Amino acid sequence: MLKTEHKIFCSDARDMNHLDDQSIDLVITSPPYPMVEMWDEQFGSTDSRVKDYLEAADCHRAFETMHGVLDQVWKELHRVMRDGAFACINIGDAVRTLNKRFQLYPNHARVLNKFTELGFDALPLILWRKQTNAPNKFMGSGMLPAGAYVTLEHEYILIFRKGTKREFKTRTQKKSRMESSYFWEERNTWFSDLWDFKGIKQNTKNDSLRKRSAAYPFILPFRLINMYSLSGDTVLDPFIGTGTTTLAALAAGRNSVGYELDSSLLQLLSENLEQDISFLRKANCDRIKNHLEFINRCEEGNKELKHRNSFFGFPVMTLQEKDMKLSFIEKVAEIEKGIFQASYYDDAYIKCIGPENLTADSFDPERFIQNALSFDSE
Ligand SMILES: C[S@@+](CC[C@H](N)C(=O)[O-])C[C@H]1O[C@@H](n2cnc3c(N)ncnc32)[C@H](O)[C@@H]1O
């Protein structure tokens, strides 16, 4: 039976001494954004020069000093990541007026440069479009030319690899890779360079807190985890915040480690997990539901899906999806402060839908989803 472990350290990620060299398979994170006002105080308490530079409106030094704090975390990542591991960094640029000069602070470019300087290989990146309809979204001189500014409505997901391509040599590694595959139609959306989550429901709770703490949507780390890691791998988020990466790792059957300076956020994660974990199962049910809708569209278009997934029994587009499995979480327990352990139903699908329902024709998605959501340990 699959088991995973999730650790959160309430300490500064500039020193991740709890982690061995080459122990992490994937990094997913979103740091505090330099030059965005909500993070001034935190950067100021980490490096006291930040406050002085901001007061003196010395924008260049303020920007550099804030990035200097992040640089130390990026350096630690290089130490703890295995060769072949990916790092996905969600970051937005900042706009700000200092000394009466309105300017763009290109955080993504600064982070990208630092990663390549540290020896990471930069890979094609994702633009995350965060369109807003706010009435005050246009800044500057209104309808009068030569003084208005383009609205920033996107953030970046920078993608890096440490060292050369990861290898899958042993039989176990190859099997795990096949079981961790994703659907053909997911590949077509996930590996596009423009993401827009409009219309995709959050799988997590506490929406207002998420906004206040600059949390990213659950779907973001959940997708990236499925794209760049295998079941049983360890995912690190050095700026864990409300624990969205932890939740995504739990749902996807990966281990995780997080670092966070603000200990009150950890309490919230514990409460969330204690109350209800059905949203973690729902993340996988949604993937199945979407796949079944895809099958329907193919059937309507008379497009034949030639292969069959051996775990669920439904048709799939390619042979690579044949052995794909999904991990359905059974329970999570906080075994020590900041350490959670999760166990998963290996054969949840058989228990949920019954062996008699294992053919694609009789597969009842609604029942499967209902059963999986309300599934309790016997
Ligand atoms: C943008 S938020 C991350 C939000 C997170 N992705 C989520 O979904 O909740 C950045 C977080 O990094 C934390 N932080 C800032 N500097 C840190 C450091 N040096 N070490 C650890 N955590 C830090 C902040 O307290 C904040 O919670």
- Span 18-45, pLDDT tens digits: 999 999 999 999 999 999 999 999 999 9
**Position 106 in a domain:** yes
Find the 239 Cα to ligand 1 centroid distance in Å. Answer: 4
Measured by CA distance, the residue closest to atom 12 of ligand 1 is: 239
**Position 372 in a domain:** no
**Position 269 in a domain:** yes
Which band of pLDDT confidence, cut at 50, 70 and 90, is reported for residue 249?
Answer: very high
Q: Which of 40, 261, 266 best tests ligand 1's pocket when mutated (most atoms within 8 Å of CB)?
A: 261
Ligand 1 atom closest to the CA of 242, numbered from 1: 9
| pLDDT at residue 329 in the model | 85
Q: What does the alpha-carbon distance between residue 221 and residue 98 come to, in Å, rounded to a whole number?
A: 34
pLDDT at 348 over 60: no
**Position 329 in a domain:** no
Strand pairing report for 315-316 and 307-308: antiparallel
**132 CB neighbour count, 10 Å cutoff:** 10
**126 CB neighbour count, 10 Å cutoff:** 22
**Position 73 in a domain:** yes
pLDDT at 276 over 80: no
pLDDT at 355 over 50: no
**Position 129 in a domain:** yes
| pLDDT at residue 330 in the model | 83
Q: What does the alpha-carbon distance between residue 238 and residue 258 come to, in Å, rounded to a whole number?
A: 5
| pLDDT at residue 135 in the model | 79
Which band of pLDDT confidence, cut at 50, 70 and 90, is reported for residue 350?
Answer: low
The structural domain count of the chain equals 1
Find the 40 Cα to ligand 1 centroid distance in Å. Answer: 13
The better pLDDT of the pair 6, 348 is held by 6
| pLDDT at residue 34 in the model | 98
**Position 22 in a domain:** yes
Tell me which residues have their CB closer than 6 angstroms to ligand 1.
Answer: 12-14, 30-32, 42, 213-216, 239, 241-242, 244, 259-262, 265
Ligand 1 atom closest to the CA of 46, numbered from 1: 19
Domain limits for position 60: 3-275
Find the 285 Cα to ligand 1 centroid distance in Å. Answer: 29
pTM for the predicted model, two decimal places = 0.94
| Percent of the chain predicted with pLDDT > 70 | 88
Across 286-306, average pLDDT: 91
**Position 374 in a domain:** no
The CATH number that applies at residue 161 is 3.40.50.150
